Structure 1
Amino acid sequence: MDRIATTAGLYPLPDDARSRLSDLKGHQKHDLVTGDEPAEVEAAYEDVREEYVTLQTEAGLDRVVEGQARWDDMLAHPLTVHDNVETGGIVRYYDNNNFYRDPIVEGELTFSGDLAADLDAASDLTDGLQAVVPGPYTLSELATDEHYGNDSDFQAAVAEFLAGEVEAFPDAVETVFVLEPSLVTDPPDDGADERASDAIDEVASATDADVVAHTYWGALDEKVHAHLLDADVDAVGYDLVSNHDDNAYNVAEYGTKDDVALGVVDGQNTLVESPDTIRERVEWFDDRVPGGFDAAYLTPNTGLFYLPVNRFEEKLAALGAATEEVPA
């Protein structure tokens, strides 16, 4: 089994960059869209992107993300920067450490190109580029629809929108992590679970890159898991930090894809896992599921935005070290 060190993106801003951005005259970070920022703001983000890429490269990660420095609203970002979306008040989800501004969709979700622009810039800095996008189910659950009229039409529109964004990604993107925590925290009902799988399938079909549908903050309901396996993704992600037993049960009982992503580092806890601990978590999972896998993406279970910068850097280093020398 190949072990691929990577992350789910969503990195914390370095302290100097945070100060620099806040000091720029008239700058309110979450109200700016790629192409609209003043030159000084664009330059600040370019510097952060280069710093993120350097950190990942020096840590020995096998897939390098852009880092999403501009994503103040986390998974809701692709909507909160859209011309036809009004951003509402602060909303918290899952726990008090996760928040975003409510994206209120008031018109058609036309092509934006926001994500592709950041990835184009990152593609000049690294090989092994990995994109990070919110999943269509999660993004539609986090948003408020005032245009499409019902949940199924809205989710379909979000999926079509994301597919268009993904289709515009540069050829340098080798892997796309589609983040779907709401499949766990707010699982779809009967019928809706199949529609969610179809929506993920539409996004995955928009790229020739390998696609990972990464879930976290627990384990999927059995039926939701079964439908997710119908989507044309290359791997499904399992959070071994929040609920290792139920995730291992799902895979042992119902199978999964030839590849998996394993959340083996806590993305929201300052305790830094050792490389040995990371390896032990992978081996524990591998021992409890039949058949083995072609590849396993080793990743934090969540994005890393809420970590102190020093702990974030240490966790990157631990992931890289965990795949350098795998015991025989």
Structure 2
Amino acid sequence: MTDYVSTTPGLYPLPDWAKDDLSDLKGHQKHDLISGDESEEITAAYEEAREEVIGVQQDADLDRIVEGQLRWDDMLAHPLAVHDAVETRGIVRYYDNNNFYREPVVQDDLGFSGDVANELEAAAELLEADDDLQAVLPGPYSLADLATDEQYGDEAEFLGAIADFLEGEVDAFPEHETLFLLEPSLVESAPEDGLDERASEAIDQVAGATDADVVVQPYWGALEEKVYAHLLDADIDAVGFDFVAEQDDNLYNIQEYGATDDVSLGLADGQNTLVEDPEAIRDRVEWVYDQLPVAEFETVYLTTNTETFYLPSGKFEAKLEILAEAAALAEVKAA
């Protein structure tokens, strides 16, 4: 029988009070530099905000609990932006939306950082006995795509260095049930011939650093056919599909090339304030099943199609609740 798991890709909005407090603490600098050695006041504010968003997930009864990535001012570029081998430069548009990040320029060999592992350790201390931790990272292709290389000198070598770096970071993570690798660049800046295979190999390398279930979550559309076919060669547990932004091409990929044993369905809109109905989300799951030749997936992750960073706090909390309710409804119907 299929196991329905409610979760999110992380990258949560800050609670309203934290936005105000942190803005004051950072001197009202919108793009304040997060360097990993914040003041005690800033550290305390992030710790309180982390505890709050973990509590929100617990109250919603989500099946997987993420740390929230509230410190990630640079969005998916964060693990590099706080790295000692990286210089952050000017502000760059985050894909095609109205959010921005500081350009991370790699100027030395990428050694171990441990920044994300430290966040996960702090999150793990807040979990209850029956909670399952989910780690969140940028996938190696997306992280390489968002960065600038001034050290390695070759696109393939740079992607390999990013994969080595992320592999080392994952190896230091505390025990976690699931790892979501976020790969919007596989859609937004699709790799060309040759690099698509290397991107799959890089993902496979990072996935191999954990015993947890690994979900590769592209979004803002559907993968090109060759990119999707190569991604299936990676030793991962699930591929994610953004059924909010694109239905037909995502269905075509599964129908034409098959799928992993597990699947992640982005069925709630992570950027729109309209709060879906849990029954509607469950019906969308059934609709996807009706279009596919796959008899049954072992695990179906129900999630927002993108990070929820863009949502107001109240809408964000409501989205978590409907995902948990939709997963519970799907379980009942499947039984």
TM-score of Structure 1 vs Structure 2, range by shorter chain? over 0.9
Is 1:216 the counterpart of 2:219 in the alignment? yes
> Paired residue for 1:89?
90
Pairing 1:67-216 to 2, within 5 Å after superposition: 67-126=68-127, 127-171=131-175, 173-216=176-219
Q: C-alpha separation between the residues in 2 aligned to 1:164 and 1:245?
A: 37
Q: Which amino acid aligns with 2:204?
A: D
SS of the counterpart of 1:323?
helix
Q: C-alpha separation between the residues in 1 aligned to 2:28 and 2:150?
A: 29
Q: C-alpha separation between the residues in 1 aligned to 2:210 and 2:248?
A: 32
Is 1:233 the counterpart of 2:236 in the alignment? yes
The change in CA–CA distance for 1:30 and 1:178 in structure 2 (over 3 A counts) is farther
Is 1:267 the counterpart of 2:261 in the alignment? no
Deviation at 1:22, TM superposition (A): 2.1
The question of whether the paired residues in 2 share the 8 Å contact of 1:240 and 1:281 is answered with no
Once structures 1 and 2 are overlaid, which stretch shifts more, 19-28 or 98-107? 19-28
The question of whether the paired residues in 2 share the 8 Å contact of 1:33 and 1:114 is answered with no
SS of the counterpart of 1:321?
helix
Is 1:321 the counterpart of 2:325 in the alignment? yes
Deviation at 1:230, TM superposition (A): 0.5
Pairing 1:25-40 to 2, within 5 Å after superposition: 30-34=32-36, 36-40=37-41
Q: C-alpha separation between the residues in 2 aligned to 1:25 and 1:243?
A: 39
Deviation at 1:94, TM superposition (A): 3.1
Deviation at 1:27, TM superposition (A): 8.5
Identical columns (%): 63
**Could you tell me the TM-score, scaled by structure 2's length?**
0.94
Deviation at 1:26, TM superposition (A): 5.9
Q: C-alpha separation between the residues in 2 aligned to 1:164 and 1:266?
A: 32
- 1:115-138 C-alpha deviation (Å, 9 max, x unpaired): 000000000112200010000000
Pairing 1:276-295 to 2, within 5 Å after superposition: 276-290=279-293, 291-295=295-299
Is 1:310 the counterpart of 2:314 in the alignment? yes
The question of whether the paired residues in 2 share the 8 Å contact of 1:106 and 1:147 is answered with yes
Aligned-residue RMSD, C-alpha: 1.4
> Paired residue for 1:63?
64
> Paired residue for 2:249?
246
Q: Which amino acid aligns with 1:71?
A: W
Q: Which amino acid aligns with 1:266?
A: D
Q: C-alpha separation between the residues in 2 aligned to 1:25 and 1:245?
A: 45
Q: C-alpha separation between the residues in 1 aligned to 2:304 and 2:258?
A: 22
Structure 1: which 5+ runs fail to align?
Answer: none
Structure 2: which 5+ runs fail to align?
Answer: none
Q: Which runs of 4+ in 1 moved over 4 A?
A: 25-30
SS of the counterpart of 1:133?
strand
Q: C-alpha separation between the residues in 2 aligned to 1:154 and 1:295?
A: 34
SS of the counterpart of 1:52?
helix
Q: C-alpha separation between the residues in 2 aligned to 1:274 and 1:154?
A: 44
SS of the counterpart of 1:237?
strand
Deviation at 1:249, TM superposition (A): 1.2
The question of whether the paired residues in 2 share the 8 Å contact of 1:111 and 1:165 is answered with yes
Is 1:53 the counterpart of 2:50 in the alignment? no
Q: Which amino acid aligns with 1:136?
A: P
SS of the counterpart of 1:325?
helix
Q: Which amino acid aligns with 1:324?
A: A
